[in-house]
Amino acid sequence: MTEPLFGSLNPGPAPASRRLCAVEDIPDGGAKGFPPPPGGFTGLFAVRRGARITVYVNACPHLGVPLDWAPDRFLSVDRRHIMCATHGALFEIADGRCVHGPCYGAALEQVLIQVNGGTVWVPEDAGL
Ligand code: FES
């Protein structure tokens, strides 16, 4: 008797994910914040440099508070770093590592994303 071809060869369903936004919702050279999903406590934010998008949990590694001081305000004045509004810590945009401030050497929690057809997807539990 021949076994069916699926089974161990079947990768199974894709991990649960949720739509974050369209790529064009994030201003090129800027950032955008997203509130927590229903039942969540911590939101996310995205930074875009052309086609490169990075998404982080909106919680400073110093005290765990949100980084933005106003809606969508996550970057330093020169837009070269992510900046925490509470004590001014600066983080690398590419990897979230703190390069200045009280949490020097710590890092923001980066969220793995998928971009399909101009839409940004994040894991279902990101930012909860
Ligand atoms: S809470 Fe962000 S630097 Fe202190």
**Residue 86 CB less than 6 A away from ligand 1:** yes
Contact 21, 114 (CB under 8 A): no
**Residue 73 CB less than 6 A away from ligand 1:** no
Give 7 Cα–ligand 1 centroid separation in angstroms.
49
Instruction: Inform me whether the pLDDT recorded for 112 exceeds 50.
Output: yes
pLDDT value for 37 = 80
- Closest atom of ligand 1 to 63 CA is 1
Q: How far is CA 34 from CA 9, 72, 93, 103, 122, in A?
A: 37, 9, 17, 23, 12
At residue 15, φ and ψ (nearest 5 deg) are: -55, 145
Give 83 Cα–ligand 1 centroid separation in angstroms.
9
Contact 15, 112 (CB under 8 A): no
pLDDT value for 3 = 34
Apex CA 65: angle with CA 63 and CA 68, to 5°?
A: 130
Percent of the chain with pLDDT over 70: 88
Q: What is the pLDDT of residues 66-83, one digit of tens each?
A: 999 999 999 999 999 999
Q: How many CB atoms lie within 10 A of CB 79?
A: 15
pLDDT value for 32 = 98
Q: What is the pLDDT of residues 95-107, one digit of tens each?
A: 999 999 999 999 9
**E strand residue ranges, the chain:** 17-22, 31-34, 44-49, 52-57, 81-83, 90-92, 98-100, 110-111, 114-116, 119-123
Confidence of residue 9 (pLDDT cuts 50, 70, 90): very low
Provide CB contacts within 8 A for 15, sequence distance 6+: 123, 124
Give 102 Cα–ligand 1 centroid separation in angstroms.
7
Question: Domains of the chain (ranges plus CATH)?
Answer: 17-123 (2.102.10.10)
Calculate mean pLDDT across residues 50-63. 97
Calculate mean pLDDT across residues 32-55. 93
Protein residue closest via CA to atom 3 of ligand 1? 87
Please state, rounded to an integer, the average pLDDT across all residues of the chain: 89
Q: What is the CA radius of gyration of the chain?
A: 17
Calculate mean pLDDT across residues 49-71. 96
